[in-house]
Chain A
Amino acid sequence: MAETTRDAVASGERVPTVIADDLHIVYRVVAGRQKGNATAALRRIVKRQPSGRVREVHAVRGVSFTAYRGEAIGLIGSNGSGKSTLLRAIAGLLPPESGKVYTDGQPSLLGVNAALMNDLTGERNVVLGGLAMGMSREQIKQRYQGIVDFSGINEKGDFITLPMRTYSSGMAARLRFSIAAAKDHDVLMIDEALATGDKKFQKRSEARIRELRTEAGTVFLVSHRNRSIRDTCDRVLWLEKGELVMDGPTDEVLRAYEAETSA
């Protein structure tokens, strides 16, 4: 499948889909204990500055790269190295402190967890999640059965009409993935805390990710398992402390990364 996309690319000029230009991302976090009363709040507002307690976390520091159509790019690095932050910035969900991200169309993150509500039935969550991702009511109606079947929620009885809080954690994770994976994307970004559920479901979801890959123009994959990066990606970005340590073909970068982490 990767070959066909590569052929298309080889025939002409390589078409960029995502360009990051000296990108910096800074989180501002209100940290530590704080006087929580109204007068303290008023003082902070009058000063127009959330004083003192705000700490800055410089999560991405000057990352530049260009991604092309047909590429599948893996992002690796230790915990807190800025991988997920970088993905969110590409999706336009986190405003950059400085630098720019240019994209072709609207990149989307695979995930709808935040839109779903545990107190609602699985049924309503499918609709709510679909709408939150920007699907129309008709699209959701068409894909509803597919989503439910894929999740396998109803294999053990009519669970889809029960509130999600009654689900086991595995069942809930399966439904969330099924909803998220129901939409097609131009530039798709996958943060791989997705490998949930039982063996059977993992197999099914990996297959679905491969399917999404072929439909999408460019795929970004964050993963801590080198095997799944090797299986899916032809190029890897290695981030450490928010900086791009290495950018190159999968084998090369993974070899350097493995040498580093095993040391």
Chain B
Amino acid sequence: MNDAVVLRTTAKLLMPFMMVFGLYVIFHGEAGPGGGFQGGVILAAAFILYALVNGIDKLETIVPERLTDVLAAVGVLIFAGTGVYTMLAGGAFLDYAQITPSNPEAGQAWGMTIVESGVGMTVASVMLTLFREFATEPAE
């Protein structure tokens, strides 16, 4: 696939737009259709497209395996951490209103955005990990 100029150029052209759209879907989750899961998949699709066109080895240079492992854990940490924080602040688990007690609506918007960003991080990382596991030869 070294001489696939058209594919490589199109992928290069589309990747930033796919990433921005993925982030838009993640952070628009509390006000419209979308959310962390769908946005994370779109975000991962941008990198998977890159890997499909340029080869799995090139993916390793921009998103190392270690980074996706760490981000998958950090996303879950953000999700659970938000829940534990609201519990420590005096509410139930993921009781977003506790984030800004003076203004519950704003707290709910913030809570959802934070949680969705954690979900998006984890989903994108796990998607990339799955793709990598399927695409690379098993080390016998």
A and B physically associate: no
Q: Which A residues lie at the B interface, using CB under 8 A?
A: none
Q: Which B residues lie at the A interface, using CB under 8 A?
A: none
